[in-house]
Amino acid sequence: MQRLPAQPRANWQKTVEEQGLVFHTPDENTYWNESAYYQFTRQEIDELEKATYALNDMCLAAVEHVISNHLLDRFHIPPEFHDWIGQSWEHDEITIVGRFDLAFDGNQPPKLLEYNADTPTSLLEASVIQWQWMKDARFGNDQFNSIHERLIEAWGKLPKNQTVHFTGITENIEDFVTVSYLQDTATQAGLTAAYLDIETMGWDHDRRLFVDDKDQPISRCFKLYPWEWMLRELYAPHLPNAPISWLEPPWKMVLSNKQILVVLSELYPNSPYLLKSANQPMGDSFVKKPILAREGANVTVVQGGQVQTQSEGAYAAQPSVYQELFQLPNFNGNHAILGSWMVNGYACGLGIREDNSKVTGNYSRFVPHVFE
């Protein structure tokens, strides 16, 4: 695994904008960075793929363990939603996409930092933008990336006789672009797809169903909106009994909660892909994370009893997990995290974010990759 310099393409801003990445330089911060790239060997990509499948298997077994042993209280999920989550799992409700965030330096096995199982972003960048960069820049021979094809394949399993609503926060440009990209892949799969701002989705009390901004029933909905936020909405009491299929499904609440790191650590203490995690500090070196937080907010890195890094955010009051400290690979001050994508049950792609800080945040840079 190497980080190598690259010459950005001429007029690259216009190129990525035409491909949908309009937030390449948010608030004058570099987000899409093609002045460098990461290069892997075939063996390293095989190791990442193997680890992703192993982690996926462990996560699914962990969901079964949590639900069958009635452990949802440990995840601070309100009791009125427990049966609904259990039913979602028992009915094997379909999942489309998730992203494992891994620490990997090419020497030790990949280590799971967390699982973005509910609302994973950076999808367009990982799928389309870096693939086109590789074709244009002609670096390397290949890329771990069949995300686009797997998404179309996944949507193709859904019935063609119903509209799929795609919803998110329209004013959040990153979320809007991600949802729009997913909508496009569903359309390519032959589905009828419609976009809906999450704030215009409503509950029809008379018909007892969710409706869109045209008062039409919503039967299947992909939401880029966290489940924990959904549970705080006014319509939350109607969620368990509404005639609607959600993507991602309710059982993904278990995996999108960082308490799953503790459960995994308990179930698989000897896994080479897991870091020890608990609900209290372990020794004097650890990473403290809120169980429900976004974009690296309120993360504290402690080494030798001293705080090394501490990010701000709105999640300080959340219960926390404490994860064994693992040093991220450092390439001349660039700390890299690898996002390994699961789509339709397949490990199918890699997206890399890097930062000068040890905590990956909202403005962390996306850097493309290749392998030999």
Q: What share of the chain is helix, strand, coil (3-state, %, to 5)?
A: 30, 25, 40
H or E stretch covering 178: helix 173-188
Q: What confidence category does residue 342 fall into, taking pLDDT thresholds of 50, 70 and 90?
A: very high
Mean pLDDT in the chain? 96
Q: List strand residue ranges (DSSP E) for the chain, in order.
A: 2-5, 36-40, 97-103, 111-116, 163-168, 192-197, 202-204, 209-211, 220-223, 245-247, 277-278, 286-290, 300-303, 306-310, 320-324, 330-331, 334-343, 346-355, 365-367, 369-371
- Tell me the C-alpha distance between 186 and 163, whole Å: 10
Q: Note the pLDDT of residue 192.
A: 97
Query: At 329, is the secondary structure helix, strand, or coil?
Result: coil
d(CA 114, CA 339): 10
Q: At what angle do helices 259-267 and 42-68 cross, to 10 degrees?
A: 100
> Among candidates 104, 124, 119, 130, which has minimal Cα distance to 37?
130
Conformational region of residue 14, where left means phi above 0, alpha means psi within -120 to 50, and beta covers everything else: alpha
Amino acid at 5: P
| pLDDT surpasses 90 at 294 | no
Read off the pTM: 0.97
Identify the pLDDT of residue 315. 94
Per-residue pLDDT reduced to its tens digit, 234-270: 999 999 999 999 999 999 999 999 999 999 999 999 9
Banded pLDDT at 280 (limits 50, 70, 90): very high
224 has a pLDDT exceeding 90: yes
Q: Is the distance from CB of 267 to CB of 65 less than 8 angstroms?
A: yes
The token pair that represents 50 in the structure block: 């193997």
Encode burial over 335-344: b for 16+ CB neighbours within 10 A, e otherwise.
bbbbbbbbbb
Residue 334 identity: N
Tokens of 88: 């979602």
State how beta strands 277-278 and 286-290 pair.
unpaired
Both tokens of 63, joined, read 């969901």
d(CA 369, CA 352): 8
pLDDT at 28: 87
Which tens digit of pLDDT belongs to each residue from 100-149? Answer: 999 998 889 999 999 999 998 999 999 999 999 999 987 777 999 999 99
Q: What is the pLDDT at residue 120?
A: 87
